[in-house]
Amino acid sequence: MDISIVLPTYKEAENIALVVSEIRKSVSEAGYEIVVVDDNSPDGTWLYAVNLIGDNDIVIRRINIKGLSTAILDGIIFSLKEYVVVMDADLQHPPQYINNMVKVVENGDIDVVIGSRYMIGGGIEGWTKSRIIISKGATLIAKLMLPSTRGLTDPMSGFFMVKREKVVANRERLNPRGYKILLEILEKCQPLNVSETPYVFRSRVYGKSKLGAKTIIDYILHVLKLSGWRPVKFGVVGALGMLVNLGVIEFLRRTYSYLVQRYFVVGSLLAIEISTLFNFTLHELWTFRDRRGGNMFIRLLLFHTTILPSILSQFIASNILFYAFSIDPLISQFIGILIGFPINYILSELGIWRKRSFE
Protein backbone atom coordinates (compact mmCIF):
# COMPACT_ATOMS: atom_id res chain seq x y z
CA MET A 1 0.00 0.00 0.00
CA ASP A 2 1.12 3.53 -0.75
CA ILE A 3 1.35 5.82 2.27
CA SER A 4 2.75 9.22 3.15
CA ILE A 5 4.32 9.77 6.54
CA VAL A 6 4.01 13.35 7.76
CA LEU A 7 6.53 14.45 10.37
CA PRO A 8 5.94 17.92 11.82
CA THR A 9 9.15 19.19 13.36
CA TYR A 10 10.27 22.09 15.46
CA LYS A 11 13.73 21.93 17.01
CA GLU A 12 14.13 18.20 16.51
CA ALA A 13 17.72 18.24 15.20
CA GLU A 14 18.76 15.42 17.54
CA ASN A 15 15.76 13.27 16.67
CA ILE A 16 15.19 13.64 12.95
CA ALA A 17 17.92 11.25 11.81
CA LEU A 18 16.85 8.65 14.37
CA VAL A 19 13.21 8.77 13.45
CA VAL A 20 13.90 8.58 9.72
CA SER A 21 16.23 5.62 10.17
CA GLU A 22 13.65 3.85 12.36
CA ILE A 23 11.05 4.40 9.67
CA ARG A 24 13.41 2.93 7.06
CA LYS A 25 14.06 -0.09 9.26
CA SER A 26 10.56 -0.84 10.39
CA VAL A 27 8.02 0.19 7.75
CA SER A 28 7.51 -2.84 5.56
CA GLU A 29 5.50 -1.17 2.80
CA ALA A 30 7.75 -0.35 -0.11
CA GLY A 31 5.77 2.57 -1.48
CA TYR A 32 5.96 5.21 1.18
CA GLU A 33 7.11 8.81 1.16
CA ILE A 34 8.23 10.95 4.08
CA VAL A 35 6.98 14.53 4.31
CA VAL A 36 8.84 16.63 6.87
CA VAL A 37 7.19 19.94 7.73
CA ASP A 38 9.55 22.18 9.63
CA ASP A 39 8.85 25.71 10.80
CA ASN A 40 12.30 27.06 10.07
CA SER A 41 13.72 25.59 13.30
CA PRO A 42 16.62 27.64 14.64
CA ASP A 43 18.57 24.40 15.21
CA GLY A 44 18.38 23.70 11.48
CA THR A 45 16.20 20.59 11.67
CA TRP A 46 15.09 21.25 8.08
CA LEU A 47 18.68 21.11 6.85
CA TYR A 48 19.35 17.82 8.60
CA ALA A 49 16.14 16.52 7.06
CA VAL A 50 17.12 17.62 3.55
CA ASN A 51 20.40 15.73 3.86
CA LEU A 52 18.67 12.59 5.06
CA ILE A 53 15.74 12.03 2.83
CA GLY A 54 15.44 9.99 -0.33
CA ASP A 55 14.20 10.88 -3.83
CA ASN A 56 10.58 10.17 -2.99
CA ASP A 57 10.52 12.30 0.15
CA ILE A 58 10.08 16.03 0.65
CA VAL A 59 10.98 18.63 3.24
CA ILE A 60 8.77 21.67 3.60
CA ARG A 61 10.47 24.58 5.31
CA ARG A 62 7.88 27.11 6.37
CA ILE A 63 9.04 30.63 7.04
CA ASN A 64 7.02 32.95 9.26
CA ILE A 65 4.37 30.34 9.98
CA LYS A 66 4.29 28.40 13.21
CA GLY A 67 1.92 25.89 14.64
CA LEU A 68 1.61 22.15 14.91
CA SER A 69 -1.84 21.82 13.36
CA THR A 70 -1.18 23.92 10.29
CA ALA A 71 2.09 22.06 9.82
CA ILE A 72 0.24 18.75 9.83
CA LEU A 73 -2.44 20.06 7.47
CA ASP A 74 0.17 21.40 5.05
CA GLY A 75 1.92 18.05 5.22
CA ILE A 76 -1.29 16.21 4.38
CA ILE A 77 -2.03 18.58 1.48
CA PHE A 78 1.48 18.11 0.05
CA SER A 79 1.31 14.33 0.40
CA LEU A 80 0.79 12.34 -2.76
CA LYS A 81 -0.40 8.99 -1.43
CA GLU A 82 -3.90 7.75 -0.63
CA TYR A 83 -3.32 7.39 3.11
CA VAL A 84 -1.30 9.67 5.38
CA VAL A 85 0.29 8.72 8.69
CA VAL A 86 0.74 11.62 11.10
CA MET A 87 3.33 11.16 13.83
CA ASP A 88 5.66 13.08 16.12
CA ALA A 89 9.27 13.29 15.04
CA ASP A 90 10.60 12.81 18.58
CA LEU A 91 10.30 8.99 18.60
CA GLN A 92 7.38 9.07 21.02
CA HIS A 93 5.35 7.38 18.31
CA PRO A 94 7.35 4.26 17.37
CA PRO A 95 7.30 3.77 13.58
CA GLN A 96 6.93 -0.02 13.72
CA TYR A 97 3.23 0.45 14.57
CA ILE A 98 2.64 1.94 11.13
CA ASN A 99 2.53 -1.61 9.76
CA ASN A 100 -0.43 -2.41 12.04
CA MET A 101 -2.25 0.70 10.83
CA VAL A 102 -1.75 -0.37 7.24
CA LYS A 103 -3.16 -3.82 8.06
CA VAL A 104 -6.30 -2.30 9.56
CA VAL A 105 -6.96 -0.33 6.37
CA GLU A 106 -6.23 -3.32 4.15
CA ASN A 107 -8.77 -5.42 6.04
CA GLY A 108 -11.70 -3.04 5.81
CA ASP A 109 -13.21 0.15 4.49
CA ILE A 110 -11.56 2.45 7.02
CA ASP A 111 -10.92 6.22 6.78
CA VAL A 112 -9.07 6.80 10.04
CA VAL A 113 -6.89 4.47 12.10
CA ILE A 114 -6.00 5.86 15.51
CA GLY A 115 -2.92 4.70 17.38
CA SER A 116 -4.33 4.22 20.86
CA ARG A 117 -2.47 4.35 24.16
CA TYR A 118 -5.57 3.40 26.10
CA MET A 119 -6.73 0.15 24.53
CA ILE A 120 -5.53 -3.34 25.45
CA GLY A 121 -1.99 -3.73 24.17
CA GLY A 122 -1.34 0.01 24.30
CA GLY A 123 0.41 2.00 26.99
CA ILE A 124 2.50 4.94 28.06
CA GLU A 125 6.12 4.85 29.10
CA GLY A 126 7.43 7.25 31.69
CA TRP A 127 4.36 9.29 32.52
CA THR A 128 3.49 10.01 36.14
CA LYS A 129 0.10 8.93 37.50
CA SER A 130 -1.08 12.55 37.57
CA ARG A 131 -0.15 13.14 33.94
CA ILE A 132 -2.12 10.05 32.91
CA ILE A 133 -5.12 11.22 34.95
CA ILE A 134 -5.02 14.66 33.26
CA SER A 135 -4.83 13.00 29.85
CA LYS A 136 -7.75 10.68 30.63
CA GLY A 137 -9.76 13.58 32.05
CA ALA A 138 -9.19 15.53 28.87
CA THR A 139 -10.31 12.50 26.85
CA LEU A 140 -13.48 12.30 28.94
CA ILE A 141 -14.25 15.97 28.24
CA ALA A 142 -13.92 15.32 24.52
CA LYS A 143 -16.19 12.29 24.72
CA LEU A 144 -18.84 14.21 26.61
CA MET A 145 -18.96 17.12 24.20
CA LEU A 146 -18.07 15.58 20.85
CA PRO A 147 -20.24 12.66 19.68
CA SER A 148 -17.73 11.64 17.01
CA THR A 149 -15.25 10.66 19.74
CA ARG A 150 -17.56 8.42 21.74
CA GLY A 151 -16.72 4.77 21.52
CA LEU A 152 -13.05 5.58 20.85
CA THR A 153 -10.39 4.92 23.48
CA ASP A 154 -7.90 7.60 22.41
CA PRO A 155 -9.43 10.41 20.29
CA MET A 156 -6.68 12.79 21.50
CA SER A 157 -3.92 10.72 19.95
CA GLY A 158 -1.30 12.49 17.88
CA PHE A 159 -0.43 9.25 16.07
CA PHE A 160 -2.95 8.27 13.40
CA MET A 161 -3.49 7.42 9.77
CA VAL A 162 -6.13 9.14 7.64
CA LYS A 163 -7.43 8.86 4.11
CA ARG A 164 -5.97 11.97 2.52
CA GLU A 165 -9.08 12.72 0.46
CA LYS A 166 -11.20 13.12 3.61
CA VAL A 167 -8.98 15.92 4.88
CA VAL A 168 -8.52 17.62 1.51
CA ALA A 169 -12.28 17.68 0.88
CA ASN A 170 -12.92 19.39 4.23
CA ARG A 171 -9.81 21.57 4.36
CA GLU A 172 -11.72 24.85 4.60
CA ARG A 173 -13.68 23.71 7.62
CA LEU A 174 -10.71 22.53 9.65
CA ASN A 175 -9.60 25.06 12.22
CA PRO A 176 -5.82 24.95 12.46
CA ARG A 177 -5.76 26.83 15.74
CA GLY A 178 -6.83 23.79 17.67
CA TYR A 179 -3.72 21.80 18.38
CA LYS A 180 -5.47 18.41 18.54
CA ILE A 181 -5.91 18.09 14.82
CA LEU A 182 -7.34 14.57 15.13
CA LEU A 183 -10.35 15.97 17.05
CA GLU A 184 -10.92 18.46 14.23
CA ILE A 185 -10.79 15.70 11.65
CA LEU A 186 -13.10 13.39 13.62
CA GLU A 187 -15.72 16.12 14.09
CA LYS A 188 -15.55 17.86 10.74
CA CYS A 189 -14.74 15.22 8.14
CA GLN A 190 -17.83 13.09 8.85
CA PRO A 191 -18.97 10.57 7.83
CA LEU A 192 -15.88 8.55 8.72
CA ASN A 193 -15.18 4.89 9.40
CA VAL A 194 -12.82 4.96 12.35
CA SER A 195 -10.78 2.14 13.84
CA GLU A 196 -8.08 1.95 16.50
CA THR A 197 -4.92 -0.05 16.96
CA PRO A 198 -2.84 -0.13 20.14
CA TYR A 199 0.65 1.36 20.54
CA VAL A 200 3.00 2.14 23.38
CA PHE A 201 3.89 5.82 23.71
CA ARG A 202 7.59 6.21 24.45
CA SER A 203 9.25 8.88 26.52
CA ARG A 204 11.22 11.60 24.83
CA VAL A 205 14.98 11.06 24.86
CA TYR A 206 16.28 14.20 23.13
CA GLY A 207 14.90 17.73 22.99
CA LYS A 208 11.98 19.25 24.85
CA SER A 209 8.21 19.18 24.53
CA LYS A 210 6.83 22.34 22.96
CA LEU A 211 3.54 22.11 24.77
CA GLY A 212 3.28 23.96 28.05
CA ALA A 213 0.72 24.50 30.81
CA LYS A 214 -1.36 26.92 28.75
CA THR A 215 -2.24 23.91 26.63
CA ILE A 216 -4.94 22.72 29.04
CA ILE A 217 -6.94 25.95 28.75
CA ASP A 218 -6.39 26.03 24.99
CA TYR A 219 -7.60 22.47 24.84
CA ILE A 220 -10.83 23.15 26.72
CA LEU A 221 -11.54 26.21 24.56
CA HIS A 222 -10.83 24.14 21.46
CA VAL A 223 -13.25 21.38 22.48
CA LEU A 224 -15.89 23.95 23.46
CA LYS A 225 -15.55 25.60 20.09
CA LEU A 226 -15.70 22.27 18.27
CA SER A 227 -18.87 21.44 20.19
CA GLY A 228 -20.43 24.68 18.92
CA TRP A 229 -20.26 26.06 22.51
CA ARG A 230 -22.99 23.62 23.42
CA PRO A 231 -22.45 23.54 27.20
CA VAL A 232 -22.47 27.36 27.24
CA LYS A 233 -25.70 27.46 25.25
CA PHE A 234 -27.15 24.87 27.59
CA GLY A 235 -26.26 27.06 30.57
CA VAL A 236 -27.81 30.16 28.97
CA VAL A 237 -31.03 28.28 28.27
CA GLY A 238 -31.03 26.93 31.84
CA ALA A 239 -30.66 30.45 33.27
CA LEU A 240 -33.47 31.77 31.06
CA GLY A 241 -35.61 28.79 32.14
CA MET A 242 -35.07 29.74 35.75
CA LEU A 243 -36.29 33.27 35.01
CA VAL A 244 -39.36 31.85 33.27
CA ASN A 245 -40.00 29.63 36.29
CA LEU A 246 -39.83 32.57 38.69
CA GLY A 247 -41.82 34.73 36.27
CA VAL A 248 -44.68 32.21 36.21
CA ILE A 249 -44.80 32.11 40.02
CA GLU A 250 -44.84 35.91 40.15
CA PHE A 251 -47.53 36.08 37.48
CA LEU A 252 -49.69 33.59 39.39
CA ARG A 253 -49.16 35.46 42.65
CA ARG A 254 -50.61 38.58 41.05
CA THR A 255 -53.45 36.99 39.09
CA TYR A 256 -54.49 33.60 40.48
CA SER A 257 -52.96 34.05 43.91
CA TYR A 258 -54.75 31.00 45.38
CA LEU A 259 -52.57 28.85 43.10
CA VAL A 260 -49.55 30.14 44.92
CA GLN A 261 -50.90 30.67 48.40
CA ARG A 262 -53.28 27.75 48.97
CA TYR A 263 -52.29 25.29 46.29
CA PHE A 264 -48.59 26.00 45.95
CA VAL A 265 -48.02 22.45 44.65
CA VAL A 266 -50.19 23.28 41.64
CA GLY A 267 -48.58 26.67 41.07
CA SER A 268 -45.07 25.33 41.39
CA LEU A 269 -45.76 22.33 39.13
CA LEU A 270 -47.21 24.72 36.55
CA ALA A 271 -44.07 26.87 36.74
CA ILE A 272 -41.84 23.81 36.39
CA GLU A 273 -43.80 22.52 33.40
CA ILE A 274 -43.87 25.83 31.56
CA SER A 275 -40.16 26.43 32.08
CA THR A 276 -39.44 22.83 31.03
CA LEU A 277 -41.35 23.30 27.78
CA PHE A 278 -39.56 26.61 27.27
CA ASN A 279 -36.15 25.01 27.81
CA PHE A 280 -36.99 22.07 25.58
CA THR A 281 -38.05 24.37 22.74
CA LEU A 282 -34.84 26.41 22.97
CA HIS A 283 -32.70 23.26 23.11
CA GLU A 284 -34.45 21.92 20.03
CA LEU A 285 -34.10 25.16 18.09
CA TRP A 286 -30.70 26.25 19.32
CA THR A 287 -28.56 24.15 21.68
CA PHE A 288 -29.06 20.82 19.94
CA ARG A 289 -30.29 22.04 16.58
CA ASP A 290 -28.05 19.64 14.68
CA ARG A 291 -28.93 16.68 16.88
CA ARG A 292 -32.59 16.20 16.32
CA GLY A 293 -32.40 12.72 14.86
CA GLY A 294 -35.22 10.39 15.92
CA ASN A 295 -38.61 11.13 17.43
CA MET A 296 -39.23 14.56 18.99
CA PHE A 297 -41.93 13.31 21.37
CA ILE A 298 -39.57 10.73 22.79
CA ARG A 299 -37.04 13.50 23.38
CA LEU A 300 -39.71 15.62 25.06
CA LEU A 301 -40.64 12.70 27.28
CA LEU A 302 -37.02 11.95 28.13
CA PHE A 303 -36.38 15.61 28.87
CA HIS A 304 -39.13 15.47 31.48
CA THR A 305 -37.45 12.49 33.13
CA THR A 306 -34.31 14.58 33.63
CA ILE A 307 -36.19 17.15 35.73
CA LEU A 308 -36.34 14.91 38.76
CA PRO A 309 -32.65 13.93 38.97
CA SER A 310 -31.49 17.50 38.38
CA ILE A 311 -33.92 19.02 40.90
CA LEU A 312 -33.09 16.26 43.36
CA SER A 313 -29.34 16.76 43.05
CA GLN A 314 -29.82 20.52 43.40
CA PHE A 315 -31.96 19.96 46.48
CA ILE A 316 -29.59 17.48 48.13
CA ALA A 317 -26.47 19.54 47.42
CA SER A 318 -27.94 22.81 48.67
CA ASN A 319 -29.32 21.15 51.82
CA ILE A 320 -26.02 19.49 52.65
CA LEU A 321 -24.23 22.81 52.25
CA PHE A 322 -26.82 24.61 54.36
CA TYR A 323 -27.27 22.10 57.21
CA ALA A 324 -23.89 20.41 57.38
CA PHE A 325 -21.65 23.36 56.55
CA SER A 326 -23.92 26.27 57.62
CA ILE A 327 -23.30 28.05 54.34
CA ASP A 328 -25.55 31.01 53.57
CA PRO A 329 -28.86 29.73 52.08
CA LEU A 330 -28.60 31.85 48.95
CA ILE A 331 -25.07 30.62 48.26
CA SER A 332 -26.10 27.03 49.08
CA GLN A 333 -28.98 27.30 46.64
CA PHE A 334 -26.71 28.76 43.96
CA ILE A 335 -24.09 26.02 44.33
CA GLY A 336 -26.93 23.46 44.30
CA ILE A 337 -28.02 24.85 40.94
CA LEU A 338 -24.43 24.73 39.69
CA ILE A 339 -24.30 21.04 40.63
CA GLY A 340 -27.69 20.26 39.11
CA PHE A 341 -26.67 21.87 35.84
CA PRO A 342 -23.93 19.45 34.70
CA ILE A 343 -26.12 16.49 35.64
CA ASN A 344 -28.89 17.82 33.46
CA TYR A 345 -26.43 18.66 30.70
CA ILE A 346 -24.78 15.23 30.74
CA LEU A 347 -28.17 13.48 30.61
CA SER A 348 -29.25 15.68 27.70
CA GLU A 349 -25.99 15.33 25.78
CA LEU A 350 -25.58 11.58 26.22
CA GLY A 351 -29.20 10.49 26.47
CA ILE A 352 -31.68 12.79 24.75
CA TRP A 353 -30.04 14.60 21.83
CA ARG A 354 -27.69 11.83 20.82
CA LYS A 355 -28.39 11.43 17.15
CA ARG A 356 -27.18 13.84 14.56
CA SER A 357 -29.75 15.13 12.13
CA PHE A 358 -27.96 15.73 8.85
CA GLU A 359 -29.93 18.64 7.44
Q: Which is closer to ligand GDP, CB of 37 or CB of 138?
A: 37
Strand runs labelled E in the chain: 3-9, 32-38, 58-61, 83-86, 112-116, 123-124, 160-163, 194-198, 200-201
Instruction: State the minimum distance, in angstroms, from the CB of residue 205 to Mg ion.
Output: 11
Instruction: State the minimum distance, in angstroms, from the CB of residue 88 to Mg ion.
Output: 4
Residue 93 near residue 15, CB atoms below 8 Å: no
Phi, psi of 126 (to 5 degrees): 80, 10
Alpha-carbon span 105 to 164, nearest angstrom: 13
Instruction: State the minimum distance, in angstroms, from the CB of residue 48 to ligand GDP.
Output: 13
SS3 state of residue 16: helix
Instruction: State the minimum distance, in angstroms, from the CB of residue 135 to ligand GDP.
Output: 10
**List of residues contacting ligand GDP (CB under 6 A):** 8-10, 12, 37-39, 66-68, 71, 88-90, 92, 209-211
Alpha-carbon span 301 to 285, nearest angstrom: 17
Closest to 141 measured CA to CA, from 237, 211, 227, 236: 227
Which residue's C-beta sits nearest to ligand GDP?
Answer: 209
Task: From residue 227, give the alpha-carbon distance in Å to each of 84, 142, 146.
Answer: 26, 9, 6
Asked whether the CA dihedral 96, 102, 108, 112 is positive or negative, the reply is positive
211 binds, among ligand GDP, Mg ion, none (CB under 5 to 8 A by kind): ligand GDP
10 binds, among ligand GDP, Mg ion, none (CB under 5 to 8 A by kind): ligand GDP
196 binds, among Mg ion, ligand GDP, none (CB under 5 to 8 A by kind): none
Q: Which is closer to Mg ion, CB of 92 or CB of 314?
A: 92
**List of residues contacting Mg ion (CB under 5 A):** 88, 90, 92
Q: Which is closer to Mg ion, CB of 90 or CB of 111?
A: 90
Q: Which is closer to ligand GDP, CB of 108 or CB of 126?
A: 126
